[in-house]
Amino acid sequence: MKEGCLNARVSIDIEQYILEKDKIGLEFLEILVRKRKEGVRVRLLCDMVGSYDLFSSPLPKALKDVGIELRFWNVVKPWRVHTIFSWFFRDHRKIMVIDKRVGFIGGVGIRGDFRTWRDTHVRVIGPVIGEMSYAFEEMWNLSQEKGVFRRLKKTRIFTKGFSLVTNSPFLRKRFFYQELVATIRNAKHSVCLTTPYFIPDRRLRRILASAKGRGVETIVLIPEKSNHMWADRAGQAYFEKLLQRGVRIFQYKGEILHAKTVVVDEDWASVGSFNLDSLSILYNYEANIVSTKPAFVEEVRGYFLADLLQSEEITLAQWLKRPRKQKMLELLTLPIRRFL
């Protein structure tokens, strides 16, 4: 991504949930300042909560002073307490478009510790770049409007072979979630899910169990330990019933697993920002690349299989023997699972 920015000649558009002013973040910002001084148009859309470290610093003014266009999504203000529920609506997308020719999308945030995490981020070219530019432009414009929670105008975006599928916090705009459910429902051989946070809603749990019941190999890969303890415990509360239905759950034993990928059979794969948790399903703005191209599907599946070699499967017998304290912590998450 840094190299892509350095090679920019016309424009750099970045939509990012996390951009911190640590060493890595400052390196990125220095590149953006340099490119702006070279005449490149730079637009930076950051989520206010995810990038609070940047938001609360003097840097935004300095960046704007050199001509960088910077906006923060859904700024939390004390006088908006009457709409406190809307504070959950975050821009979790991670999109970068350079010169409207090259794009990057996936799960990587711009923060130092992401360098050591196991994540998946892809560089894309071709017609899908137009979709990414459209999606960025729409959120960029919406970020300045008072009603930032209006539905996005575009219903869905398609191109041949690759598609950008977005997800918004509105019932009829959860495009990626709906496509994911439909694709799993039609799976014939295998469903391979990688997610750092696994808090599936009732519908997704039912679809996964149903797939296994049809004889589809259904595997969920999660980190042994994520960076959010309560999200881990909330997800673990569903393990027993899923294991009883035959869904296989693996824990990645390496560094923190933060990838968000899906591979269904040998003909559908996705990489993006969408987690299998309540925040992504209900509250966040998300964006994923979806493809039916055999080479792409095979590559994403290869990453999944390689990660399985560094993972350990949780068996039902083993899970039933977990400590009583762990069971109590899982139970304590019941009131807040919808917000994790």
Q: What is the DSSP string of 248-304?
A: EEEEE-SS-B---EEEETTTEEEEES--BSHIIIII-BEEEEEE--HHHHHHHHHHH
pLDDT value of residue 117: 96
Whole-number percent of the chain with pLDDT over 90? 86
Question: How far is the C-alpha of 203 from the C-alpha of 226, rounded, in Å?
Answer: 24
Question: How far is the C-alpha of 167 from the C-alpha of 164, rounded, in Å?
Answer: 10
Same domain, 315 and 186: yes
Q: Side-chain half-sphere of 223: how many Cα atoms within 13 Å?
A: 23
| pLDDT, greater one: 81 or 335 | 335
231: exposed, middle or buried (Cβ count in 10 Å: 0-12, 13-18, 19+): buried
Cα dihedral 115, 121, 126, 131 sign: negative
| Last-in-domain residue among 142, 177, 194 | 142
Residue 193 pairs with which residues in a beta bridge?
220, 262
Cβ proximity of 33 and 4 under 8 Å: no
Cβ proximity of 125 and 119 under 8 Å: no
* β-bridge pairing 69-73 and 41-47: parallel
Question: How far is the C-alpha of 118 from the C-alpha of 19, rounded, in Å?
Answer: 18
- Listed range (46-50, 103-107, 141-145, 314-318) with the worst mean pLDDT: 141-145
Residues 6+ apart with CB under 8 A from 44: 14, 16, 19, 32, 63, 68, 69, 70, 71
Our count of domains for the chain comes to 2
Q: Please tell me what DSSP assigns to residue 198.
A: B
Question: How far is the C-alpha of 221 from the C-alpha of 63, rounded, in Å?
Answer: 40
Same domain, 206 and 249: yes
Same domain, 69 and 189: no
Same domain, 184 and 308: yes
pLDDT at residue 322 tops 70: yes
319: its two tokens: 């899970």
pLDDT value of residue 222: 98
Q: Give domain status of residue 148, yes or no.
A: no
Same domain, 219 and 274: yes
Residues 6+ apart with CB under 8 A from 266: 189, 294, 297, 298, 301
pLDDT value of residue 41: 98
pLDDT value of residue 84: 53
pLDDT at residue 151 tops 70: no
Same domain, 180 and 230: yes
What number of H helices and E strands is found in the chain?
13, 14
pLDDT at residue 200 tops 50: yes
257: its two tokens: 């697993």
Determine which helix (DSSP H) or strand (DSSP E) holds 235, and give its type and residue range: helix 229-236
Q: Which residue range is the domain that position 84 belongs to?
A: 2-142
Same domain, 119 and 218: no
Q: Give domain status of residue 290, yes or no.
A: yes
Whole-number percent of the chain with pLDDT over 70? 92
Same domain, 120 and 232: no
Q: Which residue has the tokens 């266009």?
A: 69
Q: Which residue has the tokens 């039912």?
A: 206
Q: Give domain status of residue 157, yes or no.
A: no
57: its two tokens: 């610093």
